[in-house]
Amino acid sequence: MATIITDLKETFRRGNIYIQLIYINVAVFILTTLTEVMFQLFNRSIAGVFEWLELPASVIRFILQPWSLLTYMFMHAGFMHILFNMLWLYWFGALFLSFFSAKHLRGVYILGGICGGLLYMAAYNIFPYFRPMTDYSFMLGASASVLAIVAATAYREPNYPIRLLLFGTIRLKYLALIVIGTDLLFITSSNAGGHIAHLGGALAGVWFAASLSKGSDLTSWINKCLDTLVSIVNFKPRKPKMKVHYGTGKQKDYDYNARKKAQSDEIDRILDKLKKSGLQRKRKACSTRVNVKPMENGKRKMKNENITATLIFSFHLSIFNYYNEASR
């Protein structure tokens, strides 16, 4: 289980922005569904609790839960609802990144959801047809956000070919027009709020792409807010820097010279010892009287002595260099 969670975290971290958005939507759906199932097993309903995460049509209710303008776009009513929304997000998210940046996609997703939600609330409070349903109507789903991504891509590359099963290849602008036209035709259906939100999301996508072509990024403020939020969540206090303390008092010249001379004398003594050992070895090698067993012992002793002398010499030399560095 721990390995699965670790793999999911790594996939989320390395995934594109649309993959991360899909992960967030799916995680919220699984969490809310499991919670609802657990309560139903005990004959309890928490539908009213989740309404605080859904966008109400009533302005008075919205004042009590303003955060729902953001949370509703990550909530879904059922499996088929989230399935088709995430498929559209996966397909058109990848296509969107061919022409825009990852931060643009993140911003357009939020912008489309906000505009779709605001248009939904405005329509339910302006048109008399919707007023009887205003007090008990709530909206949820990522459709407005996804339609904003589709519309922005269609505005940027209207002639991009899209291959559809059973329909062949059509241009992206025609696909976007078909979707928007369908929402207009069913604006008074049982899912009127969803179709109105789709129109708001599509308008937001076109607005973004048109403004960006003129040099104005409508998603910059959204990305700044999100970056600030992420930096706060991932804040880690800095570790204190290591401090190296050298001697507080300055060394006097005669102390330094005395120590330097003692080190030099020690090195000279070791070198003399190595030199004498080398001469003795040469004399034994030139001698005509050779005793095999003592010779082997002498070699073994000579090797050990040379290794020991070399180690001592290296140790003193390193100390000598250390004092020279520390006194600078």
Question: Domain-by-domain residue ranges, the chain?
Answer: 2-233, 253-326
pLDDT digits (tens, 9 = 90+) for 70-110: 999 999 999 999 999 999 999 999 999 999 999 999 999 99
Q: Taking a C-beta distance cutoff of 8 angstroms, is the pair 21, 108 a contact?
A: no
CB burial of 277-306 (b: ≥16 within 10 Å; e: otherwise) equals eeeeeeeeeeeeeeeeeeeeeeeeeeeeee
pLDDT class of 173 with cuts at 50, 70, 90: very high
Q: Could you tell me the pLDDT band of residue 178, with boundaries at 50, 70 and 90?
A: very high
Nearest to 181, CA basis, from 171, 173, 170: 173
Q: Which of 186, 6, 25 is nearest to 93 (CA)?
A: 25
Q: Which residue has the higher pLDDT, 248 or 29?
A: 29
What is the per-residue pLDDT for 166? 81
Q: What is the pLDDT of residues 198-234, one digit of tens each?
A: 999 999 999 999 999 999 999 999 999 999 998 888 7
The answer, yes or no, to whether residue 192 has pLDDT greater than 80, is yes
pLDDT > 90 in the chain, percent: 60
Section 24-51 average pLDDT: 92
Q: Please tell me the predicted confidence (pLDDT) of residue 310.
A: 41
- pLDDT confidence of residue 252: 53
Average pLDDT of the residues in 144-170: 93
Name the least confident of 243-247, 266-270, 324-328.
Answer: 324-328
The radius of gyration of the chain from alpha carbons, rounded to an integer in Å, stands at 39
- Highest mean pLDDT pick, 142-146, 164-168, 269-273: 142-146
Q: What is the DSSP letter of 74?
A: G
Vertex 106: Cα angle to 231 and 114 (nearest 5): 105
Task: Quote the tokens at residue 303.
Answer: 């090797």
Confidence category of residue 13, pLDDT binned at 50, 70, 90:
confident
pLDDT of residue 266: 78
pTM: 0.70
Q: State the DSSP code for 248.
A: S
Output the furthest CA–CA distance in the chain (Å, rounded): 126
Exposed, middle or buried, 38 (CB in 10 Å: 0-12/13-18/19+)? Answer: exposed
Contact (Cβ atoms closer than 8 angstroms) between residue 24 and residue 74? yes
pLDDT at 1: 65
**Better-predicted residue by pLDDT, 256 or 270:** 270
> Concatenated DSSP letters for 102-164?
HHHHHHHHHHHHHHHHHHHHHHHHHSTTTGGGGGG-EE--SHHHHHHHHHHHHHHSTT-EEEE
283 CA to centre of own chain:
74
Q: Is 176 a residue whose pLDDT tops 70? A: yes
Cα-to-chain-centroid distance, residue 23: 13
Task: Provide the mean pLDDT of the chain.
Answer: 81
* Cα angle for residues 60, 203, 147 (degrees, 5° grid): 90
With residue 63 as reference, give the H or E element that holds it: helix 59-64
Reference 115, options 18, 215, 219, 15; nearest CA is 219
- The stretch 169-181 carries a mean pLDDT of 94
CATH level 2 (architecture), domain 2-233:
Up-down Bundle (1.20)
Exposure of 14 by Cβ count < 10 A (0-12 exposed, 13-18 middle, 19+ buried)? exposed
Nearest to 101 by CA among 220, 200, 229, 210: 220
**In this model, does residue 257 exceed pLDDT 70?**
no
Distance CA 175, CA 92 (A): 12
Cα–Cα distance measured from residue 163 to residue 171, given in angstroms and rounded to the nearest whole number = 9
